[in-house]
A and B are shown apart, each in its own frame.
Chain A
Amino acid sequence: MLRKEQNDLLTQTAPGTPMGQMFRCYWIPALLASELPENECPPVRVKLLSERLLAFRDSNGKYGLIDEFCAHRGVSLWFGRNEEGGLRCPYHGWKYDVTGQCMDVPSEPVESGFCQKIKLKSYPLVKRGAVLWTYMGPPDKQPPLPEWEFAMVPENQTFVSKRLQESNWLQAMEGGIDSSHVSFLHRGDLHTDPLFKGAKGNEYNLKDMRPHFEVVEQPGGLYIGARRNAENGSYYWRITPWVMPYFTQIPPRADHPMHGHFWIPIDDENCWTWTYDFHPVRPLTPREVEALKDGAGVHFKYEPGTYRPIANKDNDYLMDRAAQKAGTTYSGVAGFASQDASLQESMGPICDRTKENLVSTDNGIIMARHRMLRAAKALVEKGTIPPGVDPEHHRVRSVSIVLPPDQAFKDGAKEALVSRLGAPQTTV
């Protein structure tokens, strides 16, 4: 349970809010690089943290993320002409570069210097891996670029997608650190999904429905370990790193690619669920890539021409009661991503946490909220940079491992929990 004011604080990310200020300390995924595929391609509307922006790639290949609206009469620059090093408003010809600096006001004499006085708000937009990242905080506090492993491996080892989730970011993120739901909601898919099936770990998952948990703080956030019984008294551990405020990585299964998520607020009632798959030591196979593009694993199929999943609230997530009854799927909704989205969106646009009844196995969620509340307070009151900003905090990995009963995962998986480019994953 959270008090209303705590819930408001964690769920509101518009400019001027404490959590908004916190999100503006981080590099966040803004677009897929494929959304701006070439120089002078069409601009793309982007809403992030309740700010309407426009992304474009100019004639020289520079990326820009600027205020969506022309400073003159408030026209959306989405209609703009991307030409000769800038984006020109089609209404009266005002033109902007990737920094938002006005380059031309045709109605004013060049000599007047008027256009120098016009500048739209802009944020840096940088390609790393398959993602264009932005930083929306004060320029003097801009941190080094992110070093998430999935974005640092060669491009043929990684696959990234994003989907619109029609709920507040927090209820979506909390699903990512809630390991115990896998044995229920996703149980039908563990043996059939091409990116999950065949792992020994699946058997442990399905045999032991009451995992025990250990939550350990780490510099950037948490490690949440779920242990289930394995052979001869040993434990099967699934260890999920959460890096503040928005990153998780799902523990791997066999030699399948590793995967995880970012949850990025669009506004307070919508977020982007970013999903990555990568293999640390080998290219993804053609079959894996095909499955990923086809929405397998934790990815999804899109409504054509959008980033909205094809199973969405408008079609009741293609609910199949017969499949639910037969146990083909546990909830009646197919696919990991749609299963999560359907339930998380059903909570309403912003989950009312004053009415929830958490239990002790929810300590990962409780601890994550606690750390964010503490970090937001320290940021607002003292200017303390929150955990997760330092690229050192990005060098984490999820792990699945079998350990003796008396060994702590923080010891038994110590090396495995640190990402090292080119090192194989630790997986069962």
Chain B
Amino acid sequence: MQSESARMTTAEQARFRINHPNSKPRSVKVVALDARSEAVVKRLALGQWQNASFLIAKHFDGAPRSGEGWNMKDWLSDLAGRTKDLVDEVATADLVVMIATAGANAQAAAVIAEACNVRKVMTTALIIGSESKSDEELSKSLASLRPYASMLVIAGNDDYIEAMLVALRA
């Protein structure tokens, strides 16, 4: 008698896989951490997305030193420049994607990651613009983002961000 696995792994049987959504839309917040990545994020936002929103980390300088308290209210803005509450944004996110330019200041990642950690929201960081930066600058960016991202990607081309968001059903 034919085994269960042999019977069920044919192309014919593959046609019977249930054709019904097997997931609910995920909320993905894409945050630009610096000026160059802001331009990339603004371009991305023009696309068609299921449940992705695009934000900018406003305070590129002066991130709190270790041990200092800070107010999470004013760290983000939407693309129109309106302030968005970081805690609220993270609270409604399934994934936060931070976009950073190699060599640029990525201090805002610490604040965003702290908020994500409180809410147990996964963080991914993508480093763009690596082709025009030195190895040293790239290494600095990696070191500054590593503590704050469970997935860290150096993307050779900006178009990878879009590909990744599509792959994640953003």
Contacts and interface: CB of A to CB of B under 8 A. Distances in A.
Interface of A: 1-2, 166-167, 210, 212-217, 269, 313-317, 342, 345-346, 348-350, 352, 355, 357-363, 366-367, 369-370, 373-374, 405-408, 410-411
Interface in B1-26: 2-6, 8-11, 13-14, 17, 22-23
Given A214-B152, A215-B153, A359-B122, A345 B168 contact: no
Given A167-B9, A316-B3, 15 more contacts: A1-B167, A212-B149, A213-B151, A214-B142, A214-B153, A216-B154, A342-B5, A357-B23, A358-B167, A360-B151, A363-B124, A367-B160, A405-B147, A410-B135, A411-B139
B146 interface: yes
A121 B119 CA distance: 62
A360 B3 contact: no
Interface string B129-170: 000000100110011001101111111110010011011110
B95 interface: yes
A360 B122 CA distance: 8
Given A314-B3, A367-B160, A370-B163, A1 B9 contact: no
Contacts of A407: 143
B11 A348 contact: yes
A408 B143 contact: yes
A63 B5 CA distance: 38
A349 B152 contact: no
A408 B125 CA distance: 14
A135 B142 CA distance: 39
A322 B138 CA distance: 50
B169 A313 contact: no
Nearest to B19: A355
A345 B135 contact: no
B168 A358 contact: yes
Contact of B154 (A217, A374, A406): A217
Nearest to B152: A214
A313 B151 contact: no
Nearest to B157: A374
A2 B167 contact: yes
B153 A367 contact: yes
B5 A366 contact: no
Contacts of A210: 150
17 contacts: A212-B150, A214-B153, A215-B153, A314-B3, A348-B10, A348-B17, A350-B11, A355-B17, A357-B23, A357-B169, A360-B151, A361-B151, A366-B163, A367-B164, A369-B167, A373-B163, A406-B143
A75 to B, nearest CB: 29
Contact of A1 (B146, B152, B154, B169): B169
B56 to A, nearest CB: 21
A366 B161 CA distance: 10
Contact of B151 (A212, A345, A374, A408): A212
A348 B167 contact: no
Contact of B2 (A213, A314, A345): A314
Contacts of B154: 214-217
B103 to A, nearest CB: 14
Given A213-B152, A357-B22, A370-B160, A406 B146 contact: yes
B17 to A, nearest CB: 7
Nearest to A3: B166
A172 to B, nearest CB: 13
B160 to A, nearest CB: 6
A14 B43 CA distance: 37
B17 A352 contact: yes
B14 to A, nearest CB: 4
B27 to A, nearest CB: 13
B95 A360 contact: yes
Query: 10 shortest A-B CB distances, which residue pairs?
Result: A348-B14, A313-B5, A360-B124, A408-B142, A366-B167, A214-B152, A406-B143, A370-B163, A360-B151, A217-B156
A18 B151 CA distance: 31
Contacts of A367: 153, 155, 160, 164
B3 A215 contact: no
B2 A215 contact: no
Contacts of B10: 348-349
Contacts of A369: 163, 167
A366 B142 CA distance: 20
Nearest to B136: A411
B6 A314 contact: yes
B11 A363 contact: no
A216 B169 CA distance: 22
B168 A359 contact: yes
Contacts of B124: 360, 363
A410 B17 contact: no
A355 B5 contact: no
A316 B8 CA distance: 11
